[in-house]
């Protein structure tokens, strides 16, 4: 079979599964899958998992808002916002190969946004995790100042999550240029020297999806919430990254960033 003129990237495979692939690339991707059984098998497994999730949780979208959540302060909010948040929290630890992790009807983040955001975050991760004397600008001993300073510069509330339950202590943070706006960068370290970084910046999406990317050295999880994008970078172990990401999400979701 004739190969597609342009190689199909992993991002495009994820977009194909998520229904986000541009129409002009669909035929190329399907030709690629026909010629690459291993990729085809991965795509089938992601599709099967997505279908199982939709079968289990889509019915929640049609349920009325519980009385305990019908507060005056929520009356002006979009009627499905609480559902998206509940589904995101329920599925926070769920990662599908490299495709979609948190599903909410109508919520999507484009492959290009995911790619540029994650590349910038991984570049920063790789640059600073090897530093011994100057990995951060502001150290963890000045946590309150760090959070206030970063919040002022990026324009939303920056909270340095408490990750001791995952064996990680805050090293500190710094301000970085982001894809479209300043980015807050936080670094954590375990007792054995394993380092994770959390990179956040404004993002042109409100999707509560999670995507995984990795290479031979590092792994990353990307998601976005209320106009802020997050990338947690660290080891390639998806289970370990997911454990930490669940803690990060639970704490940043409460503060709105």
**Which is more confident, 32 or 103?**
32
Separation of alpha carbons 183 and 32, rounded Å:
37
Q: What is the pLDDT of residue 8?
A: 80
Confidence band for 116, pLDDT divided at 50, 70 and 90: confident
Which residues lie closer than 8 Å to 22 by C-beta, 6 or more apart? none
Using CA atoms, how far apart are residues 160 and 144, in angstroms rounded to an integer?
Answer: 9
Read off φ and ψ for residue 187, nearest 5 degrees.
-120, 140
pLDDT band at 223 (very low <50, low <70, confident <90, very high): confident
Dihedral over Cα of 199, 202, 204, 209: its sign:
positive
Domains and CATH numbers, the chain: 10-90 (no CATH), 111-255 (3.30.200.100)
Mean pLDDT computed over 216-233:
88
pLDDT at 236 over 90: no
Predicted pLDDT of residue 140: 95
Predicted local distance difference test score (pLDDT) of residue 225:
84
Q: Which of 66-80, 114-128, 175-189, 198-212 is predicted with the least confidence, judged by mean pLDDT?
A: 66-80
pTM of the predicted model over 0.75: no
Report residue 216's pLDDT band, with 50, 70 and 90 as the boundaries: confident
Q: How confident is the model at residue 163 (pLDDT cuts 50, 70, 90)?
A: very high
Assess contact for 222 and 117: CB atoms under 8 A: yes
CB 12 within 8 A of CB 23: no
Taking only the tens place, the pLDDT of each residue in 53-101 is: 555 545 544 555 445 434 444 344 444 444 444 444 333 333 333 333 3
């Amino acid at each position: 079979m004739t190969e597609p003129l342009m190689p199909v990237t992993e991002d495009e495979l994820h977009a194909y599964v998520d229904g986000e692939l541009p129409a002009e690339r669909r035929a190329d991707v399907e030709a690629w899958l026909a010629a690459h059984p291993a990729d085809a098998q991965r795509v089938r497994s992601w599709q099967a998992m997505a279908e199982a999730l939709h079968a289990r949780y889509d019915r929640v979208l049609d349920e009325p808002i519980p009385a305990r959540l019908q507060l005056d302060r929520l009356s002006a909010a979009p009627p499905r916002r609480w559902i998206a948040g509940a589904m995101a929290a329920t599925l926070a630890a769920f990662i599908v190969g490299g495709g979609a992790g948190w599903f909410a009807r109508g919520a999507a983040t484009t492959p290009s946004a995911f790619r540029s955001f994650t590349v910038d975050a991984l570049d920063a991760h790789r640059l600073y995790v090897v530093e011994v004397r100057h990995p951060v600008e502001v150290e963890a001993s000045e946590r309150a100042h760090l959070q206030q300073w970063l919040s002022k510069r990026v324009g939303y509330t920056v909270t340095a999550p408490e990750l001791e339950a995952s064996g990680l202590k805050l090293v500190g943070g710094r301000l970085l240029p982001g894809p479209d706006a300043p980015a807050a960068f936080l670094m954590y370290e375990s007792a054995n020297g394993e380092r994770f970084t959390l990179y956040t910046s404004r993002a042109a999406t409100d999707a509560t999806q999670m995507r995984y990317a990795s290479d031979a050295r590092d792994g990353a999880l990307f998601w976005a919430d209320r106009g802020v994008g997050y990338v947690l970078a660290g080891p390639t172990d998806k289970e370990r990254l997911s454990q930490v990401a669940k803690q990060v999400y639970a704490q940043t979701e409460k503060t709105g960033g």
